[in-house]
Amino acid sequence: MSTTSIDRARETMAEALRSGADTLDLHGLGLKELPPWPGGLDDLRGLDLSGNRLRSLPPEIWEQAGLEWLDLGSNRLASLDRGVGRLAHLRRLDLSENRLASLPAELATCLHLRHLDLFDNQFAEWPEVLLGLPELQRLDLAHNLLSQLPPLDGRLPALRELDLSSNRLSKVDALTALLAISRLRLDDNRITSIPEVLRALPMFSERGNPLAASRPELPPRPRLRDLVSGGFETDKRYFDAPLQRFEFALDLGGRPALERSIDIYYKGFAGAPVGLKLYDGTRLDLHRLSRKAAVALVAPAGGGFLQFEPTSEAGTVAANCEFAQRTLDEVPGVALLTAGDLAVGHAGVLVEERDGGESDAADELTTTRGGGAITGTRHFERPSDARDDERKSRGDSRKGLRAEPPAPSLPVADRSSARAPGAPPPPPDAEAVDTAVFCPPAVARSSVFLVQAFLYPPDEIAAVEAEARQADEAARLRGRFSLPLDLPRGTRVDLHLEMPGLRIAEADAVLTWRGRQTVAQFEVGVPADVQGEKLVGSLRIAVAGMPKSTLRFQVALLEAGASGPDAHACEIDARTYRRAFVSYSSKDRGEVLRRVQAFRIAGLSVFQDILDLEPGERWEKELYREIDNCDVFLLFWSQAAADSEWVGREIEYALARKHGDDDSPPAIQPVPIEGPPIPPPPKNLSALHFNDALLAQIAVAATAPKGSGIHP
């Protein structure tokens, strides 16, 4: 039977009480409040409440006089209760990733406190109470708002490690009074000069300050910025700004390297689009996780690869290269993996001719450590279009490639028994996944409400509903359906919410299937002048970059300030795309072909015309029959398509097939393949969005390595 987070917390408390445990672990449950504290649970030495959404704590916490460590990290605490002063035996206190701007004076009675983590809070001034902690050895104040330091003469006599990275400090002379200090981090501040006594410390770092130019030269190594490809090409049209791709990754061997790299990221580069792919295949998007969550997820891993998403932002390229360089400089055992293209300034390996038949293959990469010595090779996934560009530059797209063992393909395990012809069987780790949408059944004008979209195992709808109501008491189930694919863990799922007439703060979200329920939350504003008595929302879903489903639902409209009972407006339909018709200009055939091959890997059946018929052999009768039978009409849009008489006829027939009903099949989805500017859409499709984020994902679906379909 499914349980809620509150239920799991109660069960864990009860088990600790029965067993007489001296530690209690309630981390990562997403709790907004704790269940009633059980009597008799008085002998705890350790308590972990991290990774929740707690804004306050029950008074019973501060009665645990025997606590030696307390982890409250990654919550929403804006203040720390004065009861902390009763924890006289406390040695380790973690308050990282909260909203604290001050600490209570009572903390000074915790005379045995040795480790205090205040990373990522809102301290604009040094907390005075810290100066009275005689045994404090490690203090983390990184990622706060500190602009100056207090006098430290005779204070903090035991402090050995101090992290002040990512603050606003301009002077650090006061730190010379710390007699026991041996490890000091001052990265990413505003410091212009540093006393030599601090520079001489056994462990010292000051990267990212105005004085960085005076840092001694490091040993020669490949310049990472040279290992980024992309940019504008003459006479080429672009849908978006051209992507720059990182032709390198970092191999992090072992848990210490993982954790130190994560620390560097969150203290200096948080928000940059960086992925961490663990050796077991799990992928973490660091920019979507808290530091606490990332550290917990990598704990069982033996290592992983830092990977950098393609971007069109020059600032992101610079930040990612700087992050990678710092990791190489500061983390022992990290290996730089670079693409094997043998260009000047690039590391690489010669490719060998493959025995047997011809097939696409992943490129091999060289492992470079320290000053550039090659110590081995690793395989590293690279976008297929990047490989195509490279092969064109060599003048041969087939010959001379070494094949890598094929990656598991995205499975097609449709629970309705419909399967695309020739689709690969599901891998053994694929799991059934359902999706559900929750929001209030009725909303008032001039209000803001929450739309929640869940992925979850099919038998856990009760737990999902409880979680949805915990986030929003007014939430009700608006629609649910089963994804047509069984997903292996690590599969990316893109969501796009449309609610015409309303304001959606961020309409796009990305979830990764981990075998358990996960949620995307959309904040939606209702204008005062919105018309009608009900609203219609559409949640569009793409799996691994491929369009798969649309769930449509209704919400009733109330007058401003009004409230009412649950309305009957709910799910309209849930439509899964199994068969696609591809409309395109023959001039774009090569570009479209790459994308269609990726669609088939993901289980979307595509009309054979694009593969089997040459331009000029497109049979009008057969084309119209395929439009009659398709679920989704994918319009690959370009200037050539806009000028094509055949594309115009296909659009007209698809619209006629709908008989004037927007909800009837086929769903029409444009996929722009050039611009900006994007060629003007045809008048009969002017209401459609030709440039939203989900369509951009579809447009670059071919960047997924051929045969994988899991991480586009």
Q: Over the stretch 642-664, which tens digit does the pLDDT of each residue have?
A: 888 888 888 888 888 876 666 67
Q: Where are the domains of the chain?
A: 5-214, 224-394, 434-575, 579-703
The pLDDT value given to residue 376: 31
Could you tell me whether strands 274-278 and 303-308 are parallel, antiparallel, or unpaired per DSSP bridges? antiparallel
Helix (H, G, I), strand (E, B) or coil at 341: coil
Tens digit of each residue's pLDDT (9 = 90 or more) over 686-698: 666 555 444 444 4
Confidence band (pLDDT; 50, 70, 90) for 390?
Answer: very low
pLDDT over 50 (residue 405): no
Confidence band (pLDDT; 50, 70, 90) for 7?
Answer: confident
The pLDDT value given to residue 607: 60
- Of residues 530 and 240, more confidence is placed in 530
> 675's torsion region: left (phi>0), alpha (psi -120 to 50) or beta?
left
Helix (H, G, I), strand (E, B) or coil at 524: strand
- Of residues 676 and 693, more confidence is placed in 676
CA distance 185 to 193: 14
pLDDT over 80 (residue 360): no
Tens digit of each residue's pLDDT (9 = 90 or more) over 112-138: 999 999 999 999 999 999 999 999 999
CA distance 160 to 155: 12
Q: Considering only 55-59, 114-118, 364-368, 680-684, which range has the smallest mean pLDDT?
A: 364-368
CA distance 345 to 327: 20
Confidence band (pLDDT; 50, 70, 90) for 177?
Answer: very high
The pLDDT value given to residue 417: 38
Confidence band (pLDDT; 50, 70, 90) for 606?
Answer: low
pLDDT over 70 (residue 41): yes
For residue 504, list its beta bridge partners.
Answer: 524
Confidence band (pLDDT; 50, 70, 90) for 684?
Answer: confident
The pLDDT value given to residue 541: 86
What is the signed CA dihedral for 6, 8, 13, 17, rounded to 10 degrees? 140
Q: Which residues neighbour 483 within 8 Å (Cβ) at sequence distance 6 or greater? A: 432, 433, 434, 435, 455, 541, 543, 548, 549, 576
Which amino acid, residue 546? M
H/E run at residue 321: helix 314-330
Domain 579-703: top CATH class? alpha beta
- Of residues 700 and 544, more confidence is placed in 544
pLDDT over 80 (residue 213): no
Q: Where are the beta strands (DSSP E) in 145-273?
A: 161-163, 183-185, 203-205, 228-230, 244-246, 248-253
The pLDDT value given to residue 163: 96
Helix (H, G, I), strand (E, B) or coil at 312: coil
The pLDDT value given to residue 299: 81
CA distance 166 to 187: 6
Handedness of CA 339, 341, 346, 350 (dihedral sign): positive
- Of residues 661 and 199, more confidence is placed in 199
pLDDT over 90 (residue 355): no
Supply the DSSP symbol for 704: S
- Of residues 420 and 293, more confidence is placed in 293
Q: What is the mean pLDDT of residues 557-562?
A: 79
Closest CA to 600 of 614, 610, 587: 610
Q: What phi and psi, each to the nearest 5 degrees, are found at residue 115?
A: -130, 120
Percentage of the chain beyond pLDDT 90 is 26
Supply the DSSP symbol for 487: B
The pLDDT value given to residue 685: 78
Most confident of the following: 84-98, 202-216, 267-281? 84-98
Please name the fold of domain 434-575.
Immunoglobulin-like (2.60.40)
> 593's torsion region: left (phi>0), alpha (psi -120 to 50) or beta?
alpha
**CB distance 420 to 578 below 8 Å:** yes
The pLDDT value given to residue 598: 55
CA distance 212 to 214: 5
Confidence band (pLDDT; 50, 70, 90) for 514?
Answer: confident
Q: What is the mean pLDDT of residues 462-482?
A: 85
Confidence band (pLDDT; 50, 70, 90) for 413?
Answer: very low
The pLDDT value given to residue 414: 37
- Of residues 393 and 267, more confidence is placed in 267
pLDDT over 50 (residue 344): no
Confidence band (pLDDT; 50, 70, 90) for 149?
Answer: very high
For 503-536, letters b (16+ CB in 10 Å) and e give ebeebbbebbbbeebebbbbebebeeebeeeebb
Tell me the pLDDT of the chain averaged across its residues: 76
C-alpha distances out from residue 70 to 23, 189, 233, 333, 531, Å: 10, 30, 56, 32, 52
Please name the fold of domain 5-214.
3.80.10
pLDDT over 80 (residue 626): no
pLDDT over 80 (residue 462): yes
The pLDDT value given to residue 709: 35
**CB distance 329 to 274 below 8 Å:** no
CA distance 112 to 119: 20
The pLDDT value given to residue 515: 84
pLDDT over 60 (residue 443): yes
**CB distance 38 to 13 below 8 Å:** yes
CA distance 433 to 437: 14
The pLDDT value given to residue 663: 63
Q: What is the mean pLDDT of residues 497-505?
A: 88
Q: Where are the beta strands (DSSP E) in 505-628?
A: 508-512, 518-526, 534-543, 546-558, 571-576, 579-583, 605-606
Which amino acid, residue 171? K
